[in-house]
Structure 1
Amino acid sequence: MAGPTVKASVLHGAKDIRLEERSLPPLAADEVLVAVKATGLCGSDLHYFNHFRNGDILVREPLTLGHESAGVVTQVGSGVTTLQPGDHVALEVGLPCGRCELCGEGRYNICREMKFRSSAKAVPHAQGTLQESIIHPAKWCHKLPRDVSLDLGALVEPLSVAKHAQDRAKLPSGSTVLVFGAGAVGLLCAAMAKVAGAKTVVIADIQEDRVRFAVENRFADASIVVPMKRPEAIADKLEFAREVAELVKKTEVEGQAVGEVNAVYECTGVESCLQASIYATGPGGKIMLIGMGNPIQTLPISAAALREVDLVGVFRYANTYAAVIELLASKNPLLPDLSKLMTHRYSGMENIPKAFDMAAKVKDEKGNLVLKVMVDM
């Protein structure tokens, strides 16, 4: 028996999105059919939309974007007992092999055979969630409590990146944390640090409005506007990085200088930010590498090694969804109001190109910050 036919938003080239009909395969015993209701646009989606590539990863066939999504189960396979039609779910869209050593260790996010919806890394591409419905393994559909909205359900995916970074950092309560980058992921990392009991969270960005937003909405305790310098020579770059690190150390919270930090969540991928992270971190500290930037960077590595500052890679997430959903349902007073991140909303699949155009902006035509653009299907 054939599966349903659905409308899908399909990228054929840079900024060339078309609405098309797509036939889904029949539902397997362990799968469910989910009507996609809310999708947040991510930076990787934006790269594919604007350039038909994401860094070195080229799109090689028509691709449906979208992976930060939640929806409603409309049909379940014969073997599914954990979900039923009408359930609200957050979609974990990475599908690992489940057989390799990494999967066995629970590190399925770095499975070599991972197929991730909306990524062009594997061929054939795993189609994303910007379509009316998707068929997905029930195992990777996480039930949402009814008091957690579908919008927040879509935020579970990027919040999982922050949760995974927190799990990898293993910071003790009372730590001092610096976050480079006040976009959605940086703000979510700051929020998770607050929830984990950080004593002080400092956030830094080149955009003053973004760091102001972070402090005013309780994502961070203090902010730094990184100067817009672009030194060329290596010695000048490292000197600038030291200057930025000193700005961090001298920043005051409740009348006391922050000093060296215990950890940095580096969410920009910008070389100068990673250099400054090394200089700003105290002995025995950690730098969480979250932002995807230039793959080749010049770093003051001895400054890290001599003080045993660990550089820790963070790639997506593993085993985070249940904990993140529980956090969203808990009404934890340390968690900022995440709904304020969702600054712009577009309804209907025909408006997806407009949503991408807005996601590329720092501010809209009225001067309002653009943080997370949501698409209501």
Structure 2
Amino acid sequence: MKAVVIHGARDLRVDPFEDALPPGPGEAKVAVANGGICGSDLHYYLHGGFGAIRVQQPMALGHEVSGVVTALGAGVEGLRVGDKVAVNPSRPCGACAYCLRGQPNQCLDMRFNGSAMRMPHEQGLFRETLTVPVQLLERFDPGADLAHAAMTEPLAVCLHAVRQAGSLVGQTVFVAGCGPIGCLTVAAARLAGATRIVAADISDTPLAIARAMGADETINLATGSDAMEPLKRDKGQVDVGFECSGAAPALRGLLDITRAGGRIVLVGMGGDAPLPLQLTVAKELTLKGTFRFHEEFATAARVISDGRIDLSPLLTGVYEMEQAVAAFDLAADKSRAMKVQIRFSGG
């Protein structure tokens, strides 16, 4: 079979790859249908890694995939050949202190597909076929769109982020940064009962998608310099802010517009940012981080399968596997792309 493999910065190839093994007890074989290109995939493609983490050997990329079950091992229940599924890329050890404490997303021995943190690397899911434990599969209704099913992982990230904020019922929510994660956070906040959702970015293109995903109001920070002023009134008009850009100015803006006693969830991965301690303390703000997901993967799959969120505005384009380089180049152009996917033989 073939896989989409990174060899180094700007060195992406469609390579022959070891065939998936026949499924053993408790396993299923899956023909991969769609795979979404994530920000971490782009870091490997554009820079050969991020921070101290570098690609040291050829590694299949990808951790956002859907597919169709083609074979089942002994003892498998609840799945049938032909079922549409999403594949969970997260495999916590289940034995470390954090797993035992009920925080498996913080696992000390986590294995996550498409990661160069380990040596040898954890191979990604951009392969034509996979054999995985059935616990990693979430089944979809027969009529589900496999392109939408491949967005289960990023939606799970956003559902986990919304969970960190506590109840959003009746709340005014602000989402800073409208990339795929920001737009999915808008959708997740709407699903969680937010009454008013304001989204901000520096480009009109992602803001249009944020509106399609459920934002009531949008602000272009590059052109609307005064648009944030009404939200600063009376120590802030926002109950909960989600920082999805990883940019220091965005965090500062959230501190200004979040009401006294409000909450800010830090979603975006960026560099270190200065924190105005006096403002944060005086307004009694709660800042909380959020990292990956666990049980939210199953929830995301159910939400998508049931059609409770329309993901079609997010999908910029789907490229065949042999066009992987073109797909990555488009995904890297934030002025044109939101979510770009690769279609494999199971689609």
TM-score by length of structure 1 reads: 0.85
Alignment counterpart, residue 14 of structure 2, candidates 9, 13, 19: 19
Contact 1:249-1:258 at 8 Å conserved across structures: no
Tell me the CA shift for residue 249 of structure 1: 4.8
- What SS does structure 2 have at the residue aligned with 1:152? helix
Indicate yes or no: 2:129 matched with 1:133.
Answer: yes
- 2:172 is aligned to 176
- What SS does structure 2 have at the residue aligned with 1:247? coil
Structure number with higher relative contact order (C-alpha < 8 Å, ≥ 6 residues apart): 2
- What SS does structure 2 have at the residue aligned with 1:264? strand
- 2:84 is aligned to 88
- What SS does structure 1 have at the residue aligned with 2:80? coil
Indicate yes or no: 2:219 matched with 1:250.
Answer: no
- What SS does structure 2 have at the residue aligned with 1:45? helix
Q: Which stretches of structure 1, 4 residues or longer, exceed 4 Å deviation after superposition?
A: 256-259
Alignment counterpart, residue 263 of structure 2, candidates 286, 289, 292: 286
- 1:343 is aligned to 316
| Separation of aligned partners in 2, 1:156 and 1:354 | 23
Deviates more, 1:338-347 or 1:77-86: 77-86
Alignment counterpart, residue 337 of structure 2, candidates 361, 364, 370: 370
Residues 212-254 of structure 1: CA deviation (Å, up to 9, x unaligned):
3322x252011111138xxxxxxxxxxxxxx97x7335269xx
Residues 306-342 of structure 1: CA deviation (Å, up to 9, x unaligned):
322111111111101222222223344xx4x311210
In structure 2, give the amino acid aligned to 1:247. Answer: A
Alignment counterpart, residue 253 of structure 2, candidates 267, 270, 276: 276
Paired residues, what number?
343
The CA RMSD over aligned residues, in Å, is 2.2
Contact 1:249-1:257 at 8 Å conserved across structures: no
Identify unmatched segments of 5+ residues in structure 2. none
Contact 1:89-1:142 at 8 Å conserved across structures: yes
| Separation of aligned partners in 2, 1:192 and 1:257 | 28
Indicate yes or no: 2:293 matched with 1:298.
Answer: no
- What SS does structure 1 have at the residue aligned with 2:31? strand
- What SS does structure 1 have at the residue aligned with 2:150? helix
- 2:303 is aligned to 327
In structure 1, give the amino acid aligned to 2:154. Answer: P
Q: How does 1:1-377 map to 2 (within 5 A)?
A: 6-23=1-18, 24-25=20-21, 27-215=23-211, 217-227=212-222, 247-250=227-230, 259-294=236-271, 296-332=272-308, 335=309, 337-347=310-320, 349-363=321-335, 369-377=336-344
In structure 2, give the amino acid aligned to 1:344. Answer: G
In structure 2, give the amino acid aligned to 1:117. Answer: N
The percentage of counterpart residues that share the same residue type is 37
* Distance change >3 Å, CA 223–CA 30, structure 1 → 2: same
Tell me the CA shift for residue 131 of structure 1: 1.0
Tell me the CA shift for residue 194 of structure 1: 1.0
- What SS does structure 1 have at the residue aligned with 2:313? helix
- What SS does structure 2 have at the residue aligned with 1:34? strand
| Separation of aligned partners in 1, 2:246 and 2:287 | 13
* Distance change >3 Å, CA 130–CA 351, structure 1 → 2: same
